[in-house]
Chains A and B, each alone.
Chain A
Amino acid sequence: MRLLQSLRRRLRSFLEKDSSNVQLSQELQFHLERETQENRACGMSPEEARSAARASFGNVPKAVEECYEARGVALLDNLAQDLRHGLRTMLKYRSFTVVTVFTLALGIGACTAIFSLVNAVLIRALPYGEPDRLVYLFTPNPLWNLPPEVFGPSNADFFDLKKQSKSFLAMTLFTQTTYNLAANDRAARVSAAKVDADFFGTLGVAPELGRGFDANDEQPGDEQVAVISHALWQTMLGGGASVLGSTLRLDGRPYRVVGVMSAEFGYPHKSDLAYGNGHVETTDLWVPWALTPQQRAEREASSGYAVARLKPGVTVRHTQAEMATIMSHLNLLHNPDMRGWGALVKPFQDSALGPVRPLMWLLMGTVGFVLLIACGNAANLLLARAAALSHELGVRATLGARRSRLLRQMLTESLMLSAAAGTVGVGLAWLFVHALLKLNPGDIPRMDDARIDLRVMGFVVFVIVLTSVLFGMLPSLSATRINLAEFLKSSGMRGVSGDRRLVRHGLAVAQIALLVVLLTSTGLLLRSYANLLSVPTGFSSTTVTASVQMSSQYGDAHKRRATFGSLIERLKSVPGVQAVGVVNELPLSDEESLAVLFVEGYPNTERQLVEERGITQGYLSAMQTPLLQGRDFSDEDVSGHRLVAVVNEAFAKKYFANEDAIGRRIRAGHDESDPWVTVVGVAKDVRYMSLEAAAVPQVYRLFWQVEWNESNIVGAYVAVRSTLPQDAVVAEIRSAVKGIDPSLAVADVHAMSDLVSLATARRRFQTTLLTIFSSVAMLLAMIGVYGLLAYSVRQRMGEIGIRMALGSSKFAVVQLVLREGLTLLGVGLLIGMAAALGSTRLLAGFLYGVPAFDPATFAVIPMLLLVSTIAACLIPSLRAAAVDPIKALRHE
């Protein structure tokens, strides 16, 4: 309030400055007169009285100045002056202003766009209460050579942990599943989580409508209630309040809707659980996980994930120690063959955001470089302009302007420039963000929420101030360092700009060095991406696939499997369809199944895990996966119940050491009771988990012979190869499924090329962004080099004139300019290469099939820069060559 009043008074005296000036002089005038009068009364002559009054008053102008400052007008006045002056100069040097503002706007826009992404992904709090106190609990077992995040606690372990641990405020156990939801005459697959009563409470969330679950809902038999997501409510269920209490049919069973979650809640997402259900992107439905007493006592098998909320003040490390102690006791209750269960407490945010953090830093670093290069450009432009202003500044310094005053004026100007650039930059950032979202690779959590909000605006203001200091400080310091004696000696015609050349060249070298680092990184990423695209996938990209899943509500396992048989028959009969097959887990669909396998004649180890797929006899043909040896599965294998298998190249290499694989035998364990399965063919390797991971040994079994647990969901993908267009195939699949059972949903419909595209999306995203930003940086740096040389030619006009007058050829003049440009490049390259060699190691995690010191990249970048630098030198050097010596000498 005080501040406001003070500002108001300042402003008033500032606006009424003229009248208050008059008043001040009247006031002082009165004082002097009154003093004179008094002196005269003491008997002085009028002359004496006046001069005595003046003498006793002291320095009048100083008093005026101080009164002025006491009213706080001076500061505002100076600011207004600086702003006016800045505006005038900006308008006067219009092309300078446009280039500077545009350059900086590009840098600020890029930074702002990436920051709004980082803000959405990393900074904005996760939509759970106090997410930093949430942890995942895993019980890894080193006996299985698998990542620790695969091991959620078994039900019995979870309940014992809950009983014995003192670190947790709340704990929840949940599992993932999918349902066929039939509503309004159509069936859709929904991603669901089966959760306990503490699920929502542990996460610190509450439904926006209705209620969550309580202990009663967990009782087997009472579990047919559901909480739905905001999105499901709006899109499939009409979005009305009447949804509460309404009934959903999930896999044919009725569930009563009791709650609706808020729009931002969709836990667990795909990015939350590294080894979660590959079908689930975002969860749309929550139902109680009603465990029977037998299920609660299950200690060996595990299908759940545990999340816990730490008590206030309890650290992860302490919890880890406590959980390890408890697990060491619980271990004794496990099957003696399997003992080795440990403990892992993993912070929730690390799981959700850890994998994308390096990418975010890479992007921030990249745009930071772009901004620095833009600042370098602006600084160089400002330095060139300062040289033009040196006369004005020299005169002002001679007339008594203080350096701080000149400095403040120049900084005000750079602040104005970057504020203008910031305004344009926010506009650019808005465009960038929209373009960014189009590139969304789909695996960056909450990326869709990226927008320019208050925090981003705050960041913009910070960047504006930072850039104005970065690019304004150096030129201002250099321009206001005025040697008055020198200035006067040069008869006021030219400023002293000798030392500025070094500064300007230093800036250009720094820009080139930054650019080299940026280009090298981009080159490495581009090479990685190219490598990825050339990976042989092992399947046809035009094959269309779709997923169908059935739970026990659709009959026993045999009946559900038979449903796929009739689906294949229906699709085969469609004209134009060439091959139809079914597979339980499709390549690149984030699913895998591992089976313990024992190979005849191989030194097998305990718990030897091999990827196993169940396929039908038409599948390899539908996917166009070639057979390298032997034969595919045949109808006779099915009808004759022959136990046969096809293995992939990697399997044959590892277990049969490249000897003839056909006729070799494998089985599911050492047990004599496990039947032998005969290998009949070797198929080409297929990239399953990702394109980047090398193919691992795999076994294909007949889909019809794979064991299915009665209560498990029977789910599989149908794959169709045909001469029909993709849309027609999709329509045929949908109508075939509907013809079998209208309540069955068809989900995950893709051509295989879509899955390849998804699998390469992250790399495409980062490579595209880095390429764009590096191009921008390159453009800026080359504009910088061009501007520097053009200015230098202008400055050296006289020298060039003399050289030509003394007989120098035009070619030699061109050489002169080129030499200046290439020297800059040479030094910049040296520094940049050294920095790149030091920093590309940090990129190792982003590379695929390229060493961090890739010779090709390190050779191409200098060539590229050489060509572009020569291009940037071209116009200034031609201009120098065209100099008319007579005119140039006159100019001097």
Chain B
Amino acid sequence: MTKSTELLQGTVDLLILKVLSLEPMHGWAIAQRIHQLSKDVLRVNQSALYPALHRLEHQAWIEAEWGDSENNRRAKYYSLTKAGRARLKAEEQSWDRLSAAVQVVLKAV
């Protein structure tokens, strides 16, 4: 098993929103996609994934629909709402600001 980095709650939300901006997908696929896209660095704690999804749904940033999965089982597919898209944009910007700031500090000292 590769060594994975634990994620902060806020970042999980950001990553979920980002991944869902590509296409609607179910919970397992979201976890997989984050893992792949991060070149196996990031692993979403799965017991934290579903509460996060439900929270985002409750906040109306994503919405859910039951559909057939790739293995022909019924799965719950999540997709980004309009509000979610706006939220993603805002979150990305604030993330950029944060990471840039952290970079500056790290370089400076």
Pairwise interchain contact A62-B47, C-beta atoms closer than 8 A: yes
Q: A9-B58, A30-B76 are in contact. Are A57 and B46 (CB under 8 A)?
A: yes
User: Which of A65-73, A145-153, A416-424 makes up part of the contact surface?
Assistant: A65-73
Pairwise interchain contact A59-B27, C-beta atoms closer than 8 A: no
Pairwise interchain contact B47-A60, C-beta atoms closer than 8 A: yes
Q: How far is the CB of B67 from chain A (nearest CB, A)?
A: 11
- Measured between beta carbons, the chain B residues less than 8 angstroms from A57 are 46-47
Q: How far is the CB of A28 from chain B (nearest CB, A)?
A: 7
Closest to B59 in A: A6
A58 contacts partner chain B, Cβ-Cβ < 8 Å = yes
Pairwise interchain contact A34-B69, C-beta atoms closer than 8 A: yes
Q: How far is the CB of B21 from chain A (nearest CB, A)?
A: 21
Pairwise interchain contact B69-A66, C-beta atoms closer than 8 A: no
Q: How many residues does chain B have at the interface if contact means C-beta atoms less than 8 Å apart?
A: 23
**Interface digits, B51-66 against A, CB 8 Å rule (1 contact, 0 not)?**
1111101101000001
Pairwise interchain contact A56-B46, C-beta atoms closer than 8 A: yes
Closest to A20 in B: B54
In the complex, A31 Cα to B53 Cα: how many Å? 13
Closest to B43 in A: A56
Q: A30-B26, A31-B28 are in contact. Are A5 and B60 (CB under 8 A)?
A: yes
B3 contacts partner chain A, Cβ-Cβ < 8 Å = no
Pairwise interchain contact B74-A26, C-beta atoms closer than 8 A: yes
In the complex, A49 Cα to B38 Cα: how many Å? 24
A302 contacts partner chain B, Cβ-Cβ < 8 Å = no
Pairwise interchain contact B76-A23, C-beta atoms closer than 8 A: yes
- Measured between beta carbons, the chain A residues less than 8 angstroms from B73 are 30, 33-34
Q: A5-B60, A30-B74, A31-B27 are in contact. Are A70 and B47 (CB under 8 A)?
A: no
Closest to A66 in B: B51
Work out how many contacts link A and B, with CB atoms closer than 8 A. Answer: 72
Pairwise interchain contact A27-B47, C-beta atoms closer than 8 A: no
**Among A37, A66, A69: residue with most chain B CB under 10 A:** A66
Pairwise interchain contact A28-B50, C-beta atoms closer than 8 A: yes
B19 contacts partner chain A, Cβ-Cβ < 8 Å = no
Closest to B52 in A: A70
Closest to B56 in A: A70
**Interface digits, A1-37 against B, CB 8 Å rule (1 contact, 0 not)?**
0000110011001000000000110111011011101
Q: Out of A26, A58, A71, which one reaches B58, CB within 8 Å? A: A71
B75 contacts partner chain A, Cβ-Cβ < 8 Å = yes
In the complex, A57 Cα to B47 Cα: how many Å? 6
Pairwise interchain contact B45-A70, C-beta atoms closer than 8 A: no
- Measured between beta carbons, the chain B residues less than 8 angstroms from A27 are 26-27, 50, 75-76
Pairwise interchain contact B28-A63, C-beta atoms closer than 8 A: no
Q: Can you name 26 A-B residue pairings with CB atoms under 8 Å?
A: A6-B58, A23-B66, A23-B76, A24-B50, A26-B74, A27-B27, A27-B76, A30-B28, A30-B74, A31-B27, A31-B50, A34-B28, A34-B73, A57-B47, A58-B45, A59-B47, A63-B46, A63-B47, A63-B51, A66-B47, A66-B51, A67-B50, A70-B51, A70-B52, A70-B55, A72-B58
Q: Which positions in A face B, CB cutoff 8 Å?
A: 5-6, 9-10, 13, 23-24, 26-28, 30-31, 33-35, 37, 56-60, 62-63, 66-67, 69-72
